[in-house]
A and B are shown apart, each in its own frame.
Chain A
Amino acid sequence: MNPELEALLKAWDAFLEAPEGAGANRLQLLYEASLEEAANHSRTTKEALHRAVMRYHPRWVRANLPPGFPKQLGLD
């Protein structure tokens, strides 16, 4: 996977998964900064890139689950 895209997905995931609210505020700012940087390097808006990251995020999470995790737990 493209390292820049992976970093963006990880930053978004870290914000979503932050156990404490105060930490979530800080992580959201970090994600926003990464998003802005990536958008500036391409001909797209920050908003559009954010929507794409949000849409792709669950597939990325599922693809990175430990091997056998969903089937073993019968989550499929």
Chain B
Amino acid sequence: MLAPGGKFAHHEGVNVAAALLAEKPVEACLTEKLLEVWVDAVNSFRQRERREITEKEPSPEALAQYRAELKMMLRSTRMLLNLAEDPDYPARRFIPELSGKLLQLESSWESLNNPMTHAEADALLRRVFPNEPGTGGAA
């Protein structure tokens, strides 16, 4: 990216000079950096989800915030995956990574909106796994 005056603008974490030395297009470098940062952001979000939503009963406020953040993560990941799937996009190697992350986020959304109650789930699991002593009380 060119800054006013025709000089290369500084972007944190992106070594443009190294890219030039390696004869790698700056555009490709920036694109890859953007996708790497996004994958890290998804991983951080999912780690927090595990700690705050899965491992303990979340408060209604925490759940509402999580729902809003999850929606944003889903939208943005879909958008980046669409970009990466463009035949002219310079970082197509990220497609499997982004598609896997999207699959995990979609599963989180599916879990969040699961219409089955605890009682229905317990009843079904006891029927499917008859020797199951019990799936435990309601969480």
Contacts and interface: CB of A to CB of B under 8 A. Distances in A.
How would you classify the secondary structure of chain B's contact residues: helix, strand, loop or mixed? helix
A70 B39 CA distance: 28
Contacts of A76: 56
B129 A2 contact: yes
A17 B50 CA distance: 9
B39 A58 contact: no
The CB with the most chain A CB atoms within 10 A, among B98, B110, B117, B136, is that of B136
Given A2-B131, A22-B100, A55 B114 contact: yes
Nearest to A17: B50
Nearest to B137: A59
Interface residues of B, number: 41
Contacts of A18: 100, 104
Interface residues of A, number: 40
Interface in A23-62: 23-25, 28, 38-39, 41-44, 48-49, 51-59, 61-62
B101 A21 contact: yes
Given A5-B129, A21-B96, A25-B103, A52 B120 contact: yes
Contacts of A54: 107, 110-111, 114, 116
A55 B99 contact: no
A76 B124 CA distance: 29
Interface string B84-112: 00000000000011111111100110110
B107 A15 contact: yes
B56 A62 contact: yes
A17 to B, nearest CB: 7
A14 B53 CA distance: 17
B23 interface: no
Contacts of B110: 54
Nearest to B96: A22
Contacts of B104: 15-16, 18, 21, 24
